[in-house]
Amino acid sequence: MKIAVIRSECSFTKGGAERYAANLCRELCEMGHEVWVLSEIFADDIHPDLKHIPIKVNRTSSSLRNRSFNENAQKEARNLDADQIIALSRSYPSDAFRVSDPLHCFWMKIRYPGKIHRFLQSLNPRHKTILSMEREILDPANTRMIVTNSKLSKKIIGQYYDYPQERIHVIYNGVDHSQFTADTSLRERDTLELLFVGQDFKRKGLGPVIDAITMAKNDGHICKLRVIGRDNPTPYQSQADRLGISNLVSFEGPTRQIQEAYHSADLFVFPSLYDPFANVVLESLACGLPAITTTTNGSSEIINENKDGYVIEGATSHLASDIARCISKFCSLDNRQQQQMRQHARSTAEEYTIRRNAQQFIAHLS
């Protein structure tokens, strides 16, 4: 099959959506398909048979960036002899659109809970453009089928758009098990090592995590938090200073050695306000690291409560206290029980492979 894949960035070294695009393209090539990737930013180490078509983007503003990428990508796609067009970024028309980025209609509700504030923000050119493009993409006449990586995203589409539910397919992400290997050895520590990984600290819930460390400390549980990701740490460093726990929180920026970070931690904490499916949760499980996450993160759907992690209600005023409660629950386990959670985490992740994800995608596409 000849397949054109549209994604603004396609690389193993970027965020979860960019890595997903790279993994899918590589796997489709391995399955024998002829694949073009239409992208602005592209890593040439994905697969030798993958063909890259560069897309020019007008970066004058966020609005123009989104519009120009879609228009230029579609122009190039029309010149290809492709059997199927897969959109992994906001682009239309396509045979299949995969919800990789947050659904903007729902994120606006989370980000701006006040109706008046949300309405005023919807007039912002960036938000206005993304919402308009989202409506066009989720018009059944423009997109033959939708692929979501969680039931959460499928539910949100049903709440906000008139798109046929039978044309929406849930396919959970996969993880590279050769890269993300598990360390399930028995450990004995006096201090709990927490890990947070994310590029958007506010949306990913870093603030409540820092509050939770203080609460856990007051309950007699000393935790150290390692923060990895590209964002401005200053507000969160100030928060830790105010709470008197700056010695317990370290900000390290992005890293290429993320597996080492997963292996060195005891508990992954990712209380996202909203994510369609944060792949870092699946990566942590694959490395034998139990996770705390939220119902507003689609990857919470693969967590088995109290067995390989904990799921708490997302985007609430009591998020920090819920995180602290989970930390206390984990700390109450003995070393052997914590080891069992790490073993269960790896076992859960083994079900989700990149090959399985690509096969399911092609099955629905065909």
Beta strands in the chain (DSSP E): 2-6, 9-10, 34-39, 41-42, 51-54, 84-87, 94-98, 143-148, 168-170, 192-197, 223-228, 249-251, 267-270, 291-294, 309-312
pLDDT number for residue 151? 98
In the chain, the percentage of residues whose pLDDT exceeds 70 is 100
Which of 270, 187, 258 has its CA nearest to residue 225?
A: 270
pLDDT number for residue 13? 81
Tell me: do 220 and 340 sit in the same domain. yes
Position 14 pLDDT exceeds 80: no
pLDDT band at 360 (very low <50, low <70, confident <90, very high): very high
* Rounded Cα gap, residues 106 and 111, in angstroms: 9
Tell me: do 259 and 278 sit in the same domain. yes
What is the DSSP code string of 189-217? Answer: -SSEEEEEE-S-HHHHTHHHHHHHHHHHH
Note whether residue 249 is domain-resident: yes
Q: Maximum distance among all alpha carbons in the chain?
A: 64
Note whether residue 332 is domain-resident: yes
In the chain, the percentage of residues whose pLDDT exceeds 90 is 95
pLDDT number for residue 16? 82
Tell me: do 144 and 206 sit in the same domain. no
Tell me: do 42 and 113 sit in the same domain. yes
Mean pLDDT, range 12-22, rounded to an integer: 87
Predicted confidence (pLDDT) per residue in 181-210, tens digit: 998 888 888 899 999 999 899 999 999 999
Position 365 pLDDT exceeds 90: yes
Predicted confidence (pLDDT) per residue in 153-176, tens digit: 999 999 999 999 999 999 999 999
Number of residues that make up the chain = 366
pLDDT number for residue 188? 87
Give residues with Cβ within 8 angstroms of 359, minimum separation 6: 31
Position 137 pLDDT exceeds 90: yes
Predicted confidence (pLDDT) per residue in 279-325, tens digit: 999 999 999 999 999 999 999 999 999 999 999 999 999 999 999 99
Note whether residue 182 is domain-resident: no
Note whether residue 185 is domain-resident: no
Tell me: do 331 and 259 sit in the same domain. yes
pLDDT number for residue 129? 97
* Rounded Cα gap, residues 64 and 62, in angstroms: 6
159 backbone dihedrals φ, ψ, rounded to 5°: -75, -30
Range of the domain at 127: 2-175+353-365
277 backbone dihedrals φ, ψ, rounded to 5°: -170, 100
Predicted confidence (pLDDT) per residue in 41-97, tens digit: 999 999 999 999 999 999 999 999 999 999 999 999 999 999 999 999 999 999 999
Tell me: do 214 and 150 sit in the same domain. no
Tell me: do 198 and 150 sit in the same domain. no
The CATH number of residue 167's host domain is: 3.40.50.2000
**Overall domain count for the chain:** 2
Tell me: do 150 and 19 sit in the same domain. yes
* Rounded Cα gap, residues 125 and 233, in angstroms: 27
Tell me: do 360 and 336 sit in the same domain. no
Note whether residue 181 is domain-resident: no
Tell me: do 35 and 19 sit in the same domain. yes
Consecutive H or E run containing 75: helix 62-78
